[in-house]
Structure 1
Amino acid sequence: MSIKIKDQPFYIQATAVLFGLILVVYALNILGEILVPLAFAVFLSILLNPLCNKLQQLKVPKVLSIVIAMLIMILSVLLVFYFLSTQIVQFGDSLPMLQKKFESITADLKNWIQSSFGVTLAKQEQMIKDALNSSQAMVGKTLNSVLGILSVVFLLPVYIFLMLFYKTLILNFLYEVFAEENSKKVSEVLTETKTAIQSYIVGLLIEMIIVAAMNSAALMLLGVKYGILIGCIGAILNLIPYLGGIIAIALPVLMATITKDGYSTQLGVVIAYIVIQFIDNNILVPRIVSSKVQINALMSIVVVLLGNQLWGISGMFLSIPFVAVLKIVFDRIEPLKPWGKLLGDNVPTKQVVEIWRSRRKAAIVSGVKDKG
């Protein structure tokens, strides 16, 4: 006779779920080098699918339509990298001067710390060395993430081409693997997943362009050197939800500190970026990025940090669309609907909470009476 987990005490159910989660996370960590390129390929192939379908409607052969769509994507990426590389070359020409200025500011800061707090220069040097030694593990992890991204770049075209080519086979498998009575739910999940991912990625690209323009314009008006380069880097960092925008402020502030006297420019940069972040979070994201699936801020931050811990930089970018797909699935399966609500951005009103509490109390009272 089989024993169902749901009929067991809560501590047994919780242990089984926790054990399952540990196995899943362990497998995702071990297989990261394989799964990360596949995950990016899935999202990008879904993004390119409408263009491939449009080309095939125009009587373009399937293989050729896939190649054309991929070439358009690759050329777009190369144009962005070419633009950034021209800015980086200009930055490299001024690097020796910036290094001298940075060393001068660092020396003044050390002298100020010594006079204000009594920490000797030798002790400060030792503290810096200890901090650098302790950060070696983090640097190693970053290098691994960079190498992982490079492997993603080389494998992506192959994966994307094959996924678009075998799209019908993959969809047919997803329909057949579930029972026939669930085919309607499977179709709804696949349709909503496709729409959510497409709108999310396209929205992110549009948001990135607008934020890059606003960042660059603000920095150039404030007279910050290499404002276009730093503004574009800030827009790319802004793709990391909530955390990226905070990190992006440090770059122009540091550049203004190195290249300008006083602190008025730094204050202007902070104010400008706060205004840009306000516009981004309250106007751009709700109207451009948001799709039918809304993930609340708390869960967004948590999953981004978890994604970084699991797969590094790649995990940070993949975390939000991955959770969006999870929410779509949770919303379609009755026992998992509470988890979908937990991930979502629809906060229940106080009246709804009171209704649930009263129902809970009534159920408890009814259970006590039945036992009596």
Structure 2
Amino acid sequence: MFGVFDRWYQRKFSDPNAMMLLMLIIVTAVILLVWGGILLPVIVSAIIAYLLDWPVTHLHKRGINRTLATSITLIIFILISILMLIGIVPIISKQSINLVQEMPLIWDSAQKWLASLPRKYPDLIEVDYIKNAMASLNQRIVGIGQQVISISVSSIGNLAALLIYMILVPLMVFFMLKDKELFLKSISRVLPNERRLISQVGEEMNLQIANYIRGKVIEILIVGGLTSAAFAFMDLRYSLLLGVLVGFSVLIPYIGAAVVTIPVAIVGLFQFGVGPEFWYLMLVYTIIQALDGNVIVPVLFSEAVSLHPLYIIIAVLVFGGMWGFWGVFFAIPLATLVKAVIAAWSSPVEADSGPELIETK
């Protein structure tokens, strides 16, 4: 038994490059677990910098100074973000308030429908079972309402931090884009000389993360905009709010689409009832989900490493449980990182060619 373990250890970790890669992964994971909350503005800034690096690089290739290219790109990004916030956030806030105010009516209609089931199906459903189920659901709803109120109150204290982030994040994004080569050289000097596998994994993950962030943002905008327009055309109430929910649901593959179906179906049932309009709504929603999975995702993520759906779901559960929203957002790149690390460890040992600089594309 120990001989098998020893041979496995010698095969995988006798290479100094493999040990350096393992140490880097452990140190990075510890830093994120311990200081992840403090470093959140830096992580957000790095995500935005990845998103904006493509236009900055193309402007720089056309002869524009990198500082000027960074300034132009960042200003346009901030202006678009402000216009979207001014145009969308007030509508979403109003629709959210209206939906919360109508929730008692929706729940009352649901209770009446549940109470009518024993009369329609006396042989299958008992009255006591329905009463117990409704009492249990009422208790759960009250508990959820209390949690929402407590979260809303506690979030007031985060407004000051949000204002600070609105100043710090754009500044950090500007310097990350403007002095990208300087930071890369600094990182290269810190890394150990035995970094063949680190460079191999770093180059692959840099391309994967850049493609993923840009593709995911575009996917959210397309799916959210298409859904909002379709719901508005069908005169569905809270069309923009539901469209935004559907757009952000693509962050969680497979699970998000299933979860967001519930509010769409509830609002449709409350407004249209079980009739042709409701089934048309669900048909349109199903078509949009099919287009996302079979057309939009393959086009946007054609360069991404394919992962089995089971691995993606496991990655969402594991990394989402560890790092919350950002763990869910980066579940696929992190799963790809695990795959790249395993592939690097499985690759044959090569002669070390000396220090390399990890480049971004």
* One-letter amino acid of the structure 1 residue matched with residue 213 of structure 2: I
> Is the 1:204–1:239 contact (alpha carbons within 8 Å) kept by the matching residues of 2?
yes
Where does residue 39 of structure 1 map in the other structure? 43
Counterpart of 2:293 in structure 1: which amino acid? N
1:196 deviates by 2.0
- For the residue of structure 2 that corresponds to 1:119, the secondary structure is helix
> Which amino acid in 2 is paired with 1:290?
S
- Partner Cα separation in structure 2 for residue 96 and residue 181 of structure 1: 58
In structure 2, C-alpha distance between the alignment counterparts of 1:145 and 1:201, rounded to whole Å = 27
Would you say the 8 A contact 2:99–2:238 is kept in 1? Answer: no
Tell me if structure 2 keeps the 8 A contact 1:256–1:266: yes
Report SS of the residue matched to 2:215: helix
Question: Aligned pair 1:171/2:184, yes or no?
Answer: yes
Q: Unaligned 5+ residue runs, structure 2?
A: 13-22, 120-124, 350-361
Residues 45 and 160 in structure 1, CA contact (< 8 A), matched pair in contact too: yes
1:213-292 to 2 correspondences below 5 Å: 213-292=225-304
Asked if 2 retains the 8 angstrom alpha-carbon contact of 1:234 and 1:248, the reply is yes
Counterparts of 2:151 and 2:100, CA distance in 1: 25
The residue identity in structure 1 corresponding to 2:86 is Y
In proportion to residue count, which structure has more helix?
A: 1
Change (3 A) 1:221 1:53: closer
Q: Which residue of 2 aligns with 1:347?
A: none
Q: Which has the higher contact order (CA 8 A, sep 6+)?
A: 2
Q: Give the TM-score, by structure 2 length.
A: 0.70
Q: CA deviation at 1:193?
A: 3.0
The one-letter code sitting in structure 1 at the alignment partner of 2:215 is: G
**In the alignment, does 2:126 pair up with 1:117?**
yes
Q: CA deviation at 1:302?
A: 1.2
Pair 1:127 & 2:140 matched: no
Structure 2: distance between partners of 1:334 and 1:9: 11
Q: Any stretches of 5+ residues in structure 1 without a counterpart? A: 14-19, 338-372
Alignment match, 2:6: 7
- Do the aligned partners of 1:62 and 1:165 also contact (CA within 8 Å) in 2? yes
Compared with structure 1, are the counterparts of its residues 172 and 145 closer, same or farther at alpha carbon in structure 2 (3 Å cutoff)? farther
- How far the C-alpha of 1:33 sits from its partner, in A, is 0.5
* Cα 1:104/1:133, change in 2 over 3 Å: closer
Amino acid at match of 2:285: Y
- Residues 301 and 68 from structure 1, CA distance in 2 versus in 1: closer, same or farther, beyond 3 angstroms? same
Deviations 1:83-115 (A, max 9, x none): 322533663685588356425414414533676
- Residue 234 of structure 1, CA deviation: 0.8
TM-score normalised according to structure 1 size = 0.69
Q: Assess, with a 3 A threshold, how the Cα gap between structure 1 residues 137 and 62 changes in structure 2: closer, same or farther.
A: farther
Shift in alpha-carbon separation, 1:191–1:8, aligned structure 2, 3 A: closer
CA change 1:127–1:323 in 2 (3 A) is same
Work out whether residues 200 and 289 of structure 1, in 8 Å CA contact, stay in contact via their aligned partners in 2: yes
Instruction: Determine if the alignment matches structure 1 residue 72 to structure 2 residue 76.
Output: yes
Residue 105 (structure 1) aligned with residue 114 (structure 2): no
**Preserved CA contact (<8 Å) 1:37 1:152:** no
The 1-side partners of 2:147 and 2:90 are apart by 29
Corresponding residue for residue 48 of structure 1: 52
Deviations 1:17-37 (A, max 9, x none): xxx999986764332303443
Partner of 2:172: 159
- Relative distance call for 1:153 and 1:262 in structure 2 (3 A) is farther
Alignment length (residue pairs): 326
| Secondary structure of residue in 1 paired with 2:274 | coil
| Among 307, 315, 328, the residue aligned to 1:295 | 307
Aligned residue number for residue 308 of structure 1? 320
* C-alpha contact 2:251 2:328 (8 A) present in aligned 1: no
Letter in 1 for 2:238: Y
Over 3 Å counting, the alpha-carbon distance change for 1:280 and 1:164 in structure 2 is same
Which stretch shows the higher mean deviation, 168-177 or 297-306? Answer: 168-177
Q: 1:89 to 1:50 in 2, by over 3 A?
A: closer
Contact 1:212–1:231 (CA under 8 A) maintained in structure 2: yes
Q: Which amino acid aligns with 1:199?
A: N
